[in-house]
C-alpha cells in the first residue's frame, strides 16, 4: 500500500446535535495510502471502544504492510481483508478478556488506492458505513449496506418506499464483533484522476440522500477539504441526528498536497 500516487484524504467527525457522545472513529493515513471509518454500534456496550480498537488495529496492520516490499497485484485487496480480520479478532479478544463488553461491535469501511496499471480503489467493509465514487457529476455507491432492511430489499420483500420508513432500517446484519470468522465484503473499482472518493458513517446518509451528497461534492470543485467540511456542515444543518464522519479522497500533485497530506486519527481515546 505504498503511496506512489498522490491520493490525499481529508477527514472530519462530529458528535451531532442529538447524541451525547461520538462513537465514530476515522483514520486518514495518507502516508500509507489508507483511509478507514468505523461507527460503533449504538445501543450496545462500548461501541466507541469497538470502533477505536478496529481503527487502531487496522492502522497498525497497514503500517506494517507498508514497511514490507510489494507483494504482487492481489496484495491491496488481500491486505485490506487481513486488516479488517485482525480488527475483528482484536474485538473478540477484548470481549474474551472482559465479558461485560459482550455485544460490542462496529461497522467498518476501509480503502486503499493502487496506482498501477490504472488508479484503482480497493474497499473492504462490514455494516452500513459507505464508500462512494463521484465521477464527473455522477455519484455511485460502491458498497452495499449490511442491514436487515437491505436484505429485505434484495429479496424483494419490501420496496424502496417501505425501506425508507422501515422502523428497524439501521439494524445491522453484519459488523465487526458479530462473528469471529466473519469476512469483509471486498470491492474494487477503477478511478479517473478527477474523481472524488467518499467514505462516511450513516450519520451522513441519514441526513443527506445521494442527490444532496452529489450537489455538495459538485460545489467543492475537486477540493477534498472543502468537500469533507461542507458535507459534515450540511448534515449538521439538517439536524445532525447521529454522529457524522466523512473522509473525502482526491488525486493531487505533491506540490499541491501541502497540509492535506498530514496523517490524522480522530477522535482520540
Which domain CATH number covers 208? Answer: 3.60.40.10
What average pLDDT does this structure show over 203-213?
96
If you average pLDDT over every residue of the chain, what do you get? 89
Residue 32, C-alpha cell as written in the block: 500509507
pLDDT score of 1 more than 90: no
| Contact between residue 119 and residue 191 where contact means Cβ atoms under 8 Å apart | yes
Task: Label residues 60-79 b or e (16+ Cβ within 10 Å = b).
Answer: ebbeebbeeeeeeeebbbeb
Q: Report how far residue 50's alpha carbon sits from residue 36's, in angstroms, rounded to the nearest whole number.
A: 14
Specify the range with the lowest mean pLDDT, choosing from 91-100, 201-210, 260-269: 260-269
At residue 149, the pLDDT reads: 78
User: For residue range 123-169, what is the model confidence (pLDDT) as tens digits?
Assistant: 999 999 999 999 999 999 999 999 887 777 777 777 777 667 666 76
Examine residue 169 and state whether it is found in any structural domain, yes or no: yes
At residue 203, the pLDDT reads: 96
Q: Report how far residue 9's alpha carbon sits from residue 218's, in angstroms, rounded to the nearest whole number.
A: 17
User: For residue range 214-256, what is the model confidence (pLDDT) as tens digits?
Assistant: 999 999 999 999 999 999 999 999 999 999 999 999 998 655 6
At residue 75, the pLDDT reads: 82
Q: Report how far residue 238's alpha carbon sits from residue 210's, in angstroms, rounded to the nearest whole number.
A: 14
Q: Report how far residue 66's alpha carbon sits from residue 12's, in angstroms, rounded to the nearest whole number.
A: 24
Query: What does DSSP say about strands 120-126 and 34-39: parallel, antiparallel, or unpaired?
Result: unpaired
At residue 4, the pLDDT reads: 46
Coil, helix or strand at residue 103: coil
Examine residue 1 and state whether it is found in any structural domain, yes or no: no
pTM for the model stands at 0.92
28: left (phi over 0), alpha (psi -120 to 50) or beta: beta
Higher-pLDDT residue of 158, 1? 158
The domain in which residue 116 lies consists of 7-266
Examine residue 76 and state whether it is found in any structural domain, yes or no: yes
At residue 5, the pLDDT reads: 45
Examine residue 2 and state whether it is found in any structural domain, yes or no: no
Examine residue 211 and state whether it is found in any structural domain, yes or no: yes
Coil, helix or strand at residue 213: helix
Question: How many domains is the chain partitioned into structurally?
Answer: 1
Examine residue 77 and state whether it is found in any structural domain, yes or no: yes
At residue 181, the pLDDT reads: 86
Q: Report how far residue 134's alpha carbon sits from residue 141's, in angstroms, rounded to the nearest whole number.
A: 9
Amino acid at each position: 500500500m505504498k503511496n506512489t500516487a498522490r491520493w490525499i484524504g481529508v477527514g472530519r467527525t462530529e458528535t451531532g446535535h442529538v447524541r451525547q457522545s461520538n462513537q465514530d472513529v476515522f483514520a486518514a493515513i495518507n502516508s500509507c495510502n489508507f483511509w478507514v471509518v468505523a461507527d460503533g454500534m449504538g445501543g450496545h456496550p462500548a461501541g466507541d471502544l469497538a470502533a477505536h480498537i478496529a481503527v487502531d488495529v487496522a492502522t497498525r496492520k497497514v503500517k506494517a504492510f507498508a514497511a514490507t516490499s510489494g507483494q504482487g497485484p492481489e496484495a491491496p485487496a488481500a491486505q485490506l481483508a487481513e486488516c479488517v480480520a485482525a480488527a475483528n479478532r482484536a474485538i473478540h479478544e477484548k470481549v474474551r478478556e472482559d465479558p461485560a463488553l459482550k455485544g460490542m461491535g462496529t461497522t467498518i469501511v476501509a480503502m486503499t488506492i493502487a496506482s498501477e496499471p490504472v488508479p484503482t480503489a480497493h474497499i473492504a467493509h462490514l455494516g452500513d458505513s459507505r464508500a462512494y465514487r463521484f465521477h464527473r457529476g455522477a455519484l455511485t455507491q460502491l458498497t452495499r449496506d449490511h442491514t436487515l432492511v437491505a436484505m429485505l430489499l434484495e429479496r424483494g420483500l419490501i420496496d424502496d418506499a417501505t425501506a425508507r420508513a422501515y422502523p428497524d432500517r439501521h439494524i445491522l446484519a453484519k459488523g465487526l464483533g458479530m462473528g469471529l470468522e466473519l469476512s469483509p465484503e471486498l470491492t474494487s473499482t477503477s478511478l479517473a484522476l478527477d474523481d472524488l472518493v467518499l467514505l462516511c458513517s450513516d450519520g451522513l446518509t441519514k441526513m443527506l440522500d445521494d442527490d444532496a451528497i452529489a450537489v455538495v461534492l459538485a460545489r467543492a470543485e475537486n477540493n477534498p477539504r472543502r468537500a469533507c467540511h461542507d458535507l459534515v456542515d450540511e448534515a449538521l444543518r439538517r439536524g445532525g441526528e447521529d454522529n457524522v464522519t466523512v473522509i473525502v479522497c482526491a488525486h493531487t500533485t505533491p506540490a499541491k498536497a501541502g497540509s492535506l497530506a498530514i496523517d490524522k486519527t480522530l477522535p482520540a481515546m
